[in-house]
Structure 1
Amino acid sequence: MEFILDNQLDNDSAFIADMTLCRLQLMNDEQYPWLILVPRRENIVEMYELSKSDQRQLWEEIALISQLMKKLFSPHKLNIGALGNIVRQLHIHVIARNTDDKAWPGPVWGAHPTLAYQQEHQQKTIDNIIQELKAQNLIA
């Protein structure tokens, strides 16, 4: 079977790159630097459904993206979560949080209406992330 990104994830985020296991997406909310990792495996809802090697690779990619977020956005704290209550397809949120962001110290979900990126700012953010991924040899 071919990997298909959930429609809601596709509509709410922009493609950045495919890593070894995961598709990396930028959430379309410029209030928070917010990346989403989606394992490119069909019909996976929970982490335990991945093979052992894919589980290890997922945790490695979460750690690598966390380090990238820390370097690029200098957050006070990183929030990492896999909720899946609305979108069942397994996906992991990595959100850079700061004490002065609108939702601090609470969760970002439902705190405020989404503020979509302006196209130029979104593309610049994606380009910066791609540049860092390439510098770390995480993508070709």
Structure 2
Amino acid sequence: MSFKLDPILERDSHHLTQLKLCQIRLMDNSNYPWLILVPMKNNIIEITDFEQADYDLFNWEIRKVAKILQNEFKPDKLNIATIGNIVPQLHVHIIVRFKNDGLFPKTVWGSQFVPYEHENLKAIKDIIIKSLIAY
């Protein structure tokens, strides 16, 4: 069976690339550099659903992407979360936060999304993809 992405994740984000386990997606919210890692395995809802090797790889990929975001954007804080109350398919959010970002120190959940304009979307995609290749 081929991998099926939850329709909400597909609607709200842009595909960037994929690692060995996870698809990397950019949330369509230009207020924050905000990536989502989605393991490309069906029927994975909790991290406890992984076999040990996939669990280890998942955590390694999260750390890799988080370090890339730290290096590229120099945030005051990274928010890394797996919540899944609305989208049960396992996915992890990695959100770059700055003390002057408008909501800090509050969470971004439930805030208004400001979609990327074409030029800005291309620019952030290029930054992230080049950083992943170079890592």
* TM-score (normalised: structure 2): 0.98
1:134 corresponds to: 133
SS at match of 1:78: strand
Per-residue deviation, 1:92? 0.1
1:61 corresponds to: 61
Q: Which amino acid aligns with 1:42?
A: N
* TM-score (normalised: structure 1): 0.94
SS at match of 2:37: strand
Give the 4+ runs in structure 1 shifted more than 6 A. none
Aligned positions, number: 135
How is 1:84-103 mapped onto 2 (pairs within 5 angstroms)?
A: 84-103=84-103
2 CA distance for matches of 1:56 and 1:105?
30
Q: Which amino acid aligns with 1:103?
A: L
| 5+ residue gaps, structure 1 | none
Per-residue deviation, 1:127? 1.0
1 CA distance for matches of 2:103 and 2:62?
23
Aligned-residue identity in percent: 39
1 CA distance for matches of 2:29 and 2:87?
17
**Match status 1:124 vs 2:104:** no
Question: Could you list the per-position Cα deviations for residues 1-50 of structure 1 after superposition, in whole angstroms to 9, with x for gaps in the alignment?
Answer: 11111100001000000101000000000101100000000011100101
CA RMSD of aligned residues (A): 0.7
Per-residue deviation, 1:128? 1.0
Per-residue deviation, 1:72? 1.0
